[in-house]
């Protein structure tokens, strides 16, 4: 094939395993043969609309087969796929559409109003809705029905851009990480090796596909291997347990809050989880109590650490090491390398804290139309700066300490909020917490903890801080505490520290 990118995957799978189920959505099952035919029809329809090599095609909506069909159709034409965060406001989406220069926007019916507003005034020339055709928008199914399914084999090179994935933008305007077909392929190979995917894998994808872990760490590796992807449009703990039982799910990815929600359901002790082989968690370290809850059901977590700019896999902790290396993010993925570097550029020794740098074929080519940001993110010798602080143990396992920007200095001592948060979370009444540095006239900065308690739990600040004093040095103990009903989070489940500071960092 001339196409060496991921747009060729449906064709390659259709010739190897045409009758296997590729995608399950609601009660619909799509075989690899049918997926290939639908991708071809969409590619022809997009070409008829004027889409050419290098053009950007955006997608807005919940998890749906059309997301993947649009991704593969773009890859078939040599175009670039732009997944959009469906939780953003229209003005934020308009920024991403303008920044990427997207000319086509495929969107769900329920996002029609937002999509219309977002596309107005941008370079979007065509809107395609998954519902019936409407004012200014073609119908997705109508386009496919009216298109041919003749084979297409455009020359697409591994280093051609495949997708532009926008960072969460928690510290300013989002930046578009340009990921090539090679980046995505190598990341998938890393996952297949390190997670030991099988051809009979049944992968539940309930985290949003616009999030890099859901798409690139779970969905695409499954399709590359020839497994089955079960798509859910939104997370509902009761429904997830139903789907695991009914579809005999073997693999799923989630963030800690999702896994905690599952184990909180009344049916958790008796739910049939016998099909599950692998549970992967990302977005935040898995609390010890969550690990213990799942171990009691015979389930261990594979944990990882990554970032959009690395497609995203960087570190991986195999489930066999969940207990022995509790709290670790693991070692580098098979074809990826990392360093922990001190401020003066020297490699850190075991136990020393430094910034994680990453290199490998899964690392982005740069930020879309942002050469200055790209230069700032990459060292002179080609290592990507992650902005995260870590330490390694004698065996080379890495432990994420915190974000460089989240660290604060109290009385001349560095305080890493993630370490403090981990200690606070061991109190049985604490469900979620965020620690930030706030100004102090004597110490410069001190810690302020924002806590969310478990439903029905009762605890005061002094009780929780007394617990922390048994685990942490005095200078790390927060001086003040605020109780909240919830904490602001990104779509991937990460706490938005900028929003916490805006609400709680009073002088």
Assess whether 229 and 144 both reside in one domain. no
Calculate what percentage of the chain has a pLDDT beyond 90. 78
Task: Supply the pLDDT for residue 493.
Answer: 72
Does residue 37 form part of some domain?
A: yes
- The mean pLDDT value for 59-69 works out to 98
Residues 438, 408: Cα–Cα separation, whole Å: 9
Domain for residue 58, yes or no? Answer: yes
Nearest Cα residue to 506 out of 437, 413, 451: 437
| Cβ count near 422 (within 10 Å) | 18
pLDDT higher for 206 or 288?
A: 206
- Confidence check: pLDDT of 26 > 70: yes
Q: CATH number, domain at 420?
A: 3.30.300.30
pTM confidence score: 0.85
> Is the domain of 281 the same as that of 360?
yes
> Taking a C-beta distance cutoff of 8 angstroms, is the pair 99, 176 a contact?
yes
- Asked whether residue 411 falls in the same domain as residue 371, the answer is no
Percent of the chain with pLDDT over 70: 98
Q: Tally Cβ neighbours within 10 Å of residue 372.
A: 8
E-only strand ranges, 293-429: 301-306, 313-317, 331-332, 337-341, 354-359, 366-367, 384-392, 398-403, 408-410, 413-415
Compute the mean pLDDT over every residue in the chain, rounded to the nearest whole number.
Answer: 93
Is the pLDDT at 403 greater than 60? The verdict is yes
Domain annotation covers residue 345: yes
pLDDT at 483: 95
- The answer to whether position 166 is within a domain reads no
Same domain, yes or no: 229 and 344: yes
Separation of alpha carbons 81 and 58, rounded Å: 6
pLDDT, position 168: 63
In a domain, 448, yes or no: yes
Does one domain contain both 202 and 319? yes
**Together in a domain, 212 and 295:** yes
Bridge partner residues of 31 (DSSP): 21
Please tell me the least confidently modeled range out of 229-243, 388-402, 486-500.
486-500
At which of 403, 434, 464 does a domain end? 403
CB contact set of 351 (below 8 Å; sequence gap of 6+):
391, 392, 393
| pLDDT for 317 beyond 50 | yes
Tell me: the pLDDT tens digits for 189-244? 999 999 989 999 999 999 999 999 999 999 999 999 999 999 999 999 999 999 99
Residue 225's CATH number? 3.40.50.12780
Q: Are residues 355 and 443 in the same domain?
A: no
Contact 270, 236 (CB under 8 A): no
More confidently predicted of 89 and 51: 51
The owner of tokens 């298109």 is 147
Please choose, from the candidates 399, 378, 404, 385, the residue with its C-alpha nearest in 3D space to the C-alpha of residue 315. 399
Identify the weakest region by mean pLDDT among 15-19, 185-189, 279-283, 427-431.
279-283
Q: What tokens does 408 get? A: 């604060």
**From edge to edge, which strands make up the β-sheet containing 444-453?**
430-440, 444-453, 480-483
In this prediction, residue 170 has a pLDDT band, given cuts at 50, 70 and 90, of: very low
- State CA 9 to chain mean position distance: 22
What is the average per-residue pLDDT within 169-181?
80
> Could you read off the pLDDT of 75-123 as tens digits, one per residue?
999 999 999 999 888 998 999 999 999 999 999 999 999 999 999 999 9
Domain-embedded: residue 203: yes
- Please check whether residue 182 is in contact with residue 360, taking contact to mean a CB–CB distance below 8 angstroms: no
Q: Which residues pair with 450 in a beta bridge?
A: 434, 482
* HEC secondary structure over 156-192: ECCCCEEEEEECCCCCCCCCEEEEEHHHHHHHHHHHH
Examine the pLDDT at 446 and tell me if it is beyond 80.
Answer: yes
CATH of the domain at 122: 3.40.50.980
Q: Is residue 285's pLDDT more than 80?
A: no
* Contacts of 370 by beta carbon, 8 Å cutoff, 6+ apart: 175, 176
Residue with tokens 């896999």: 313
Cross-strand bridge partners of residue 392: 398
Q: Helix or strand or coil: residue 102?
A: strand
> In this structure, are 290 and 310 located in the same domain?
yes
Pinpoint the alpha helices (H) of 19-64: 32-48
What's the rounded mean pLDDT across residues 279-289? 81
Partners of 355 in beta bridges: 341, 389
**Residue-level pLDDT at 238:** 97
Most confident of 42-56, 290-304, 320-334: 42-56
Residues 247 and 371 in one domain: yes
pLDDT tens digits along 114-123? 999 999 999 9
23 vs 281, which has greater pLDDT? Answer: 23
Instruction: State whether residue 338 is helix, strand or coil.
Output: strand
Say yes or no: 373 and 454 in one domain: no
What six digits make up the tokens of 191? 């996952």
Count CB atoms within 10 A of the CB of residue 474. Answer: 8
Q: Which two tokens stand for residue 88?
A: 């953003």
CB 173, CB 345: distance < 8 Å: no
Please enumerate, as own/partner, the contacts of 98-102 that have beta carbons within 8 Å and a separation of 24 or more: 98/122, 98/123, 99/174, 99/176, 99/368, 99/369, 100/56, 100/58, 100/164, 100/176, 100/368, 101/56, 102/56, 102/57, 102/58
Q: Are 30 and 67 contacting, i.e. CB atoms less than 8 angstroms apart? A: no
β-bridge pairing 137-139 and 430-440:
unpaired
CB atoms within 10 A of CB 77: 23
Contact 100, 31 (CB under 8 A): no
Residues 158/136, Cβ–Cβ less than 8 Å: no
Determine the pLDDT at residue 440: 85
Give the range of the structural domain holding residue 46, as residue numbers without chain letter. 6-157
Contact 225, 197 (CB under 8 A): yes
For residues 97 and 75, is the Cβ–Cβ distance under 8 A?
no
What is the pLDDT, as a whole number, of residue 491?
65
Phi and psi angles of residue 29, each rounded to the nearest 5 degrees, phi first: -125, 130
pLDDT of residue 174: 86
Residues 310 and 357 in one domain: yes
- What is the number of domains present in the chain? 3
């Amino acid at each position: 094939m001339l196409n060496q990118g991921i747009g060729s995957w449906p064709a390659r799978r259709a010739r190897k395993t045409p009758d296997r189920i590729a995608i399950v959505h609601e009660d619909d099952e799509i075989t690899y043969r049918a997926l290939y035919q639908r991708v071809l029809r969409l590619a022809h329809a997009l070409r008829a609309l004027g889409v050419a090599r290098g053009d950007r095609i955006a997608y807005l909506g919940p998890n749906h087969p059309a997301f993947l069909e649009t991704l593969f159709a773009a890859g078939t034409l040599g175009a670039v796929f732009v997944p959009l965060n469906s939780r953003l406001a229209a003005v934020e989406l308009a920024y991403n559409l303008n920044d990427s220069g997207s000319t086509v926007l495929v969107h769900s019916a329920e996002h029609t109003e937002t999509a219309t507003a977002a596309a107005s005034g941008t370079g979007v020339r065509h809107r395609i809705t998954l519902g019936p055709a409407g004012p200014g928008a073609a119908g997705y199914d109508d386009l496919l029905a009216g298109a041919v399914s003749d084979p297409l084999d455009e020359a697409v090179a591994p280093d051609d851009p495949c997708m532009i994935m926008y960072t969460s933008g928690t510290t300013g305007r989002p930046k578009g990480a340009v990921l090539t077909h090679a980046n995505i392929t190598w990341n998938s190979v890393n996952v297949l090796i390190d997670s030991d995917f099988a051809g009979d894998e049944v992968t539940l994808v309930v985290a949003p596909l616009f999030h890099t872990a859901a798409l690139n760490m779970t969905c695409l590796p499954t399709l590359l291997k020839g497994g089955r992807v079960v798509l859910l449009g939104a997370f509902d703990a009761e429904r997830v347990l139903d789907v695991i039982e009914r579809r005999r799910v073997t693999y799923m990815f989630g963030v800690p809050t999702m896994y905690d929600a599952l184990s909180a359901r009344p049916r958790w002790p008796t739910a049939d989880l016998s099909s599950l082989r692998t549970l992967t968690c990302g977005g935040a370290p898995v609390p010890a109590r969550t690990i213990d809850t799942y171990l009691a059901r015979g389930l261990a977590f594979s944990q990882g650490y990554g970032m959009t700019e690395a497609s995203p896999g960087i570190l991986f902790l195999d489930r066999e090491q969940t207990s022995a290396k509790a709290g670790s993010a693991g070692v580098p993925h098979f074809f990826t390398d990392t360093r922990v570097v001190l401020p003066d550029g020297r490699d850190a020794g075991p136990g020393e804290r430094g910034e994680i740098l990453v290199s490998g074929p899964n690392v982005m080519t740069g930020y879309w139309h942002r050469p200055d940001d790209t230069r700032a993110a990459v060292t002179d010798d080609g290592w990507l700066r992650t902005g995260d602080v870590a330490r390694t143990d004698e065996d080379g396992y890495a432990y994420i300490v915190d974000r460089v920007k989240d660290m604060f200095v109290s009385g001349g001592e560095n305080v890493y909020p993630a370490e403090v948060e981990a200690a606070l979370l061991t109190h049985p009444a604490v469900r979620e917490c965020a620690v930030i540095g706030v100004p102090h006239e004597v110490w410069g900065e001190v810690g302020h903890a924002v806590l969310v308690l478990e439903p029905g739990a009762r605890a005061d600040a002094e009780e929780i801080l007394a617990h922390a004093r048994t685990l942490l040095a005095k200078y790390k103990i927060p001086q003040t505490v605020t109780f909240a009903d919830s904490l602001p989070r990104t779509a991937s489940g990460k706490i938005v520290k900028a929003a916490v500071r805006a609400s709680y960092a009073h002088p």
